[in-house]
């Protein structure tokens, strides 16, 4: 099926430093040069990523024709939100709270020995040689009800424990987990991208879920294969700052127990307790998500949505860990406070870098790159499935957010398929192509890139070799399956 995209409006900003280049070409040139400059500053110059992201964001904004007012707002209008503020606040308003709660929860699991208990059971169940498989399945299962970033922060201590116990590169353990989390986030309801696309295409969520599994499961198997290959070739130890924070917290707890006349050791944590603490927020989030889809507005639905919000669900889990892993086992409130505070020390850099990545993405969007991409493709005759994938892929590479790439591409492609008589299954496959494109080549303008890099102690260069390529393998394999299935549906 060969269809052309509808004409796109002219990009809003064409008067930047590259004004001599026609609008669309100028914007795309600015985006490419900006990303290239950012990579050079971080990898070659070794500029601190937060500083590099902020510097390049300002340079790209000015080159693309954004005004100083659009970038920074004005002194006179204190209520005007600038791109810098909206980019930083937009991502950190959600991520910073989750990072803080998830990090403290992870620290309690780590210091109490809970993470080690769970990782030991998984390793015994699958065997140490199959530890990556255990982590991959964990990512798939936990990734269904929770967002990608929530999964990282809750499950990271298990990765640390498994990597320390096996003595292998943390890449070998964390990459399969990340592949599972990423696949579910992009391909499966109830995650926001697939759900939003289903609404725009008017496709039943059951078809989206079915095609998501059909396309996503083979894709994640391909990603696990790459994870096994790269994990054996790049050794990355468990991040030292996380180790030091955990050791400091353990030492503080031991010292306080001795001062209180208790023994330096505690009763081992039960696996059931660990699963209860980890499973509670997952269950609450899952109930809230499905209630918002399946239930009409009501008091009961509002209650489920309140307790299932990630902020509330993680707070409940953290308080449960304080009692079940701490107070009930003889910890003092001072010990709990010290463990929590020590765990937050490595987090400041993560928050700043993720926020700066949000600024970069906001500047790229505000400069009209999405419109420029649509304008570039509206005269190109391509099968709609291929066009959907390429548009989503380019939007992802340009601005970083998978969800934004899915929603934006769906808005562009929906007019192409209206009145074409496509079945629900065919429309669901187009959504899968969009979803596959939305996870291609996670790099420096994606907050997830920096979460993976900083939380697992991977250098930017090695993150590009491992995580960025892993996402590309996941994307290409998912699209390949969608394309193959479309031939018979």
For the ranges 24-28, 247-251, 398-402, the lowest mean pLDDT is seen at: 247-251
Q: Of residues 356 and 321, which shows the higher confidence score?
A: 321
Q: Sorting pLDDT into bands at 50, 70 and 90, what band is 420?
A: confident
Determine the pLDDT at residue 314: 86
**How much of the chain exceeds pLDDT 90, in percent?**
27
> Could you give the CA distance from residue 315 to residue 60 in angstroms, rounded to a whole number?
39
pLDDT the model gives residue 20: 45
Question: What span, in angstroms and rounded, lies between the C-alpha atoms of 83 and 66?
Answer: 10
Any idea which of 69-83, 90-104, 154-168, 188-202 has the lowest mean pLDDT?
69-83
pLDDT at 430: 96
| Three-class DSSP category at 2 | strand
pLDDT digit string, tens, across residues 65-118: 888 888 887 655 555 568 888 888 877 876 788 778 877 887 888 788 787 787
Which range, of 185-189, 381-385, 455-459, averages the lowest pLDDT? 381-385
**C-alpha 5: how far from its chain's center?**
30
Q: Which of 267-276, 364-373, 384-393 has the largest mean confidence?
A: 384-393
Would you state the structure tokens that stand for residue 104, as one six-digit string? 């403290």
CA distances, 425 to each of 45, 51, 80, 135, 161 (Å): 49, 46, 44, 31, 42
Torsion angles phi and psi, residue 278, rounded to 5: -75, -40
Q: How far apart are CA 123 and CA 22, in angstroms?
A: 58
Q: Which of 459, 439, 436 is nearest to 236 (CA)?
A: 459
User: Quick one: pLDDT band at residue 249, thresholds 50, 70, 90?
Assistant: low
Neighbours of 24 (CB within 10 A): 20
Cα distances from 40 to residues 57, 326, 400, in angstroms, run 14, 46, 18
As beta bridge partners, residue 383 has 2
Q: What are phi and psi of 144, to 5 degrees?
A: -65, -50
Long-range contact set of residues 133-136: C-beta below 8 Å, sequence gap at least 24 = 133/176, 133/224, 134/162, 135/159, 135/162, 135/173, 135/174, 135/176, 135/177, 135/180, 136/176, 136/177, 136/179, 136/180, 136/220, 136/224, 136/227
DSSP-derived 3-state class of residue 382: strand
Rounded Cα distance between 485 and 489, Å, is 6
What tokens appear for 147 in the block?
């967002």
Question: Counting Cβ atoms within 10 Å, is residue 283 exposed (0-12), middle (13-18) or buried (19+)?
Answer: middle
pLDDT band at residue 165, thresholds of 50, 70 and 90?
A: confident
> Would you tell me how many other CB atoms lie within 10 Å of the CB of residue 13?
24
- Measure the CA–CA gap between 346 and 399, rounded to whole angstroms: 27
What backbone torsions phi and psi does residue 456 show, to the nearest 5 degrees? -105, 10
What confidence category does residue 419 fall into, taking pLDDT thresholds of 50, 70 and 90?
confident
453-459 average pLDDT score: 91
Report the pLDDT value the prediction gives residue 222, as an integer from 0 to 100.
96
Averaged pLDDT for residues 290-294: 78
- The string of pLDDT tens digits covering residues 2-38 is 344 444 444 445 455 544 454 677 887 887 788 788 7
Question: For the residues 43-63, what does the mean pLDDT come to?
Answer: 85
Secondary structure letter of residue 22 according to DSSP: -
Q: What is the pLDDT of residue 237?
A: 92
d(CA 378, CA 393): 16
Pairing verdict, β 382-383 and 2-3: antiparallel
Residues 332-356, mean pLDDT to the nearest whole number: 82
Whether the CB-CB separation of 139 and 88 falls below 8 Å is answered with no
pLDDT of residue 5: 41
Q: Is 442 left (phi over 0), alpha (psi -120 to 50) or beta?
A: beta
Here the tokens at position 372 are: 């420029």
What integer best gives the mean pLDDT of the chain? 82
State how far the Cα of 254 lies from the Cα of 14, in Å rounded to an integer.
62
405: Cα separation from own chain's centroid: 13
User: What's the whole-number mean pLDDT along residues 273-302?
Assistant: 85
Q: Does 441 score more than 90 pLDDT?
A: yes
User: For residues 109 and 328, what is the distance between their CA atoms, to the nearest angstrom?
Assistant: 14
**Cα gap 427→203, rounded to integer Å:** 7
In this prediction, residue 320 carries a pLDDT of 95
Q: Are 435 and 194 in contact (CB under 8 A)?
A: yes
CA 280 – CA 276 distance, rounded (Å): 6
Q: Which is higher by pLDDT, 407 or 390?
A: 390
For residues 415-434, give the mean pLDDT.
89
Three-class DSSP category at 73: coil
pLDDT band at residue 60 under the 50/70/90 scheme: confident
Residue written as tokens 């601005």? 399
DSSP state of 322: I
Mean pLDDT over residues 372-386, rounded? 70
Q: What is the largest CA-CA distance in the chain?
A: 78
- CA–CA separation, 176 vs 148, rounded Å? 13
């Amino acid at each position: 099926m060969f269809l052309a995209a509808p004409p796109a409006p002219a990009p809003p900003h064409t008067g930047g430093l590259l004004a001599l280049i026609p609008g669309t070409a100028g914007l795309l040139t600015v985006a490419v040069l900006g990303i290239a400059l950012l990579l050079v500053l971080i990898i070659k110059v070794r500029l601190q990523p937060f500083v590099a992201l902020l510097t390049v964001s300002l340079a790209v904004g000015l080159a693309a024709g954004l005004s100083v007012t659009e970038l920074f707002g004005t002194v006179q209008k204190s209520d005007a939100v600038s791109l810098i503020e909206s980019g930083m606040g937009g991502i950190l308003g959600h991520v910073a709270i989750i990072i803080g709660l998830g990090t403290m929860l992870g620290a309690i699991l780590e210091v109490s020995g809970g993470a080690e208990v769970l990782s030991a059971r998984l390793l015994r169940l699958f065997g140490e040689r199959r530890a990556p498989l255990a982590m991959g399945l964990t990512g798939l299962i936990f990734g269904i009800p929770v967002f990608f970033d929530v999964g990282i922060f809750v499950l990271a201590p298990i990765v640390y424990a498994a990597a320390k116990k096996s003595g292998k590169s943390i890449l070998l353990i964390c990459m399969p987990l990340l592949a599972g989390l990423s696949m579910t986030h992009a391909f499966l309801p109830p995650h926001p991208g697939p759900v939003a696309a289903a609404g725009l295409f008017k496709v039943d969520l059951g078809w989206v879920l079915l095609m998501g599994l059909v396309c996503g499961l083979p894709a994640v198997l391909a990603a696990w294969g790459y994870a096994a290959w790269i994990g054996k070739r790049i050794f990355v130890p468990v991040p030292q700052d996380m180790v030091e924070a955990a050791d400091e917290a353990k030492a503080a707890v031991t010292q306080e127990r001795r001062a209180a006349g208790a023994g330096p050791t505690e009763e081992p944590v039960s696996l059931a307790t660990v699963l209860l603490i980890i499973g509670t927020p997952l269950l609450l989030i899952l109930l809230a998500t499905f209630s918002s889809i399946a239930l009409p507005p009501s008091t009961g639905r509002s209650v489920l949505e309140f307790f299932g919000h990630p902020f509330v669900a993680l707070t409940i889990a953290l308080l449960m860990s304080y009692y079940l892993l701490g107070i009930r086992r003889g910890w003092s409130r001072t010990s709990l406070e010290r463990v929590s505070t020590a765990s937050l020390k490595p987090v400041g850099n993560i928050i700043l870098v993720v926020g700066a990545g949000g600024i970069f993405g906001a500047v790229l969007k505000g400069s009209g790159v999405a419109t420029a991409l649509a304008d570039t493709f509206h005269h190109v005759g391509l099968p709609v499935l291929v066009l959907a994938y390429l548009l989503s892929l380019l939007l992802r590479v340009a601005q970083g957010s998978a969800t934004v790439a899915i929603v934006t591409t769906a808005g562009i492609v929906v007019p192409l398929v209206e009145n074409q008589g496509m079945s629900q299954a065919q429309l669901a496959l187009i959504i899968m192509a969009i979803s596959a494109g939305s996870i291609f080549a996670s790099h420096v303008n994606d907050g997830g890139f920096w979460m993976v890099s900083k939380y697992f102690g991977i250098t930017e260069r090695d993150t590009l070799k491992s995580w960025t390529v892993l996402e590309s393998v996941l994307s290409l394999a998912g699209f390949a399956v969608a394309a193959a299935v479309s031939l018979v549906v």
